[in-house]
Structure 1
Amino acid sequence: MKNPFKPKTENSNEAALRESFNKIKEELEEHLETINQNTNEIQANYEYLEKINQKMEKLNEKLEEIRIHLGMIKDDVSTAGQKFEATKLTIHEQEVFLVLYTASDFLSYKDIAKRKGLTESLVGNYITSLIEKGIPLIKKYMNKVAYVKLESRFKELQAKKNILKIDDKIARDYTGI
Structure 2
Amino acid sequence: MTVTETTEARPTALPEIADPSRVAPRDARQLSRLFFDQLGVLEEGTPEYQYARNTLIEMNVSLVRFAAARFRSRDQDEMEDIVQVGTIGLIKAIDRFELTREVEFTSFAVPYIVGEIKRFFRDTSWAVHVPRRLQEARIQLAKATEELSSRLGRTPTVKELAQLMCLSE
TM range (shorter): under 0.3
Structure having the higher strand fraction is 1
TM-score by length of 2: 0.23
Instruction: Find the structure with the greater CA-based Rg.
Output: 1
TM-score by length of 1: 0.23
Q: Which protein, 1 or 2, shows the higher relative CO under an 8 Å CA cutoff with sep ≥ 6?
A: 1
